[in-house]
Amino acid sequence: MTRRVARTTEPVDPARSAQMAKVRGRDTKPEMRVRRALHAAGVRYRLHAKDLPGRPDIVLRSRRLAIFVHGCFWHRHPDPDCKLARLPKSRLDFWVPKLEANRARDQLKEAALLEAGWTVRTIWECELDRDRLEHFAREVADMPRVGRTARGGGDRARSFLAGLDFSRPGPDWRSPRTDGAPVRSCRSSDRPAQNAPPRRR
């Protein structure tokens, strides 16, 4: 696959290029701050789910919640008061199309998640003060869970347990058979060992 490189007539600042090369796509400092706040509130989560649109930074499947932690510059924070989202003064012919494409891609990913029944929350880099993070973490912790019972898993488990016979004590309980056939034991001690010598009578 051929990689297209944006061409510009303006010279590239080596210091700026080196700084941009250090930008990380995951496990960023804003993301780590959100993770710590959620963990302190007792919330457990998964990271960068590959099976979801956009690979959300933080995923809570039990609550069907996808969280994106966005950098204000790279994802174009729409707040006009956000100082971190200001465009650079040079190479606008490069930066404007690139950043607007990032924003459009984010909107498509969010729409796909909403269509699939997920709740989407976006945390911006400039909104990571302590009070806001603690409030957000408590809000997430109070969200209702979509447990296995709601998805049918709990009903299946209860149906399976209801079909077992626990009347016999110890490890000799058996799964009931409705066709009258004898029940085979699951214990290794009840099964003859392979290649074992015949027992003397």
- The pLDDT tens digits for 185-201 are 444 445 555 555 556 65
**pLDDT-based confidence at 54, cuts 50/70/90?**
very high
Residue 26 is predicted with a pLDDT of 73
Q: Which of 11 and 78 is assigned the larger pLDDT?
A: 78
User: Can you list the pairs that 50-56 forms with residues at least 24 positions away whose Cβ atoms lie under 8 Å?
Assistant: 52/113, 52/116, 52/118, 53/108, 53/109, 53/112, 53/113, 53/116, 54/105, 54/106, 54/109, 54/110, 54/112, 54/113, 56/113, 56/120
Using pLDDT thresholds of 50, 70 and 90, give the confidence band for residue 27. confident
Single-letter amino acid code for the residue at 157: A
Query: How much is the pLDDT for 25?
Result: 59
| Pick from 15-29, 61-75, 99-113, 162-176: least confident | 162-176
If one compares 165 and 51, the residue with the highest pLDDT of the two is: 51
pTM for the whole structure: 0.63
Residue boundaries of the structural domains of the chain = 23-151
Most confident of 21-25, 75-79, 159-163, 172-176: 75-79
Handedness of CA 158, 164, 167, 170 (dihedral sign): negative
d(CA 54, CA 48): 8
CATH for the stretch 23-151 = 3.40.960.10
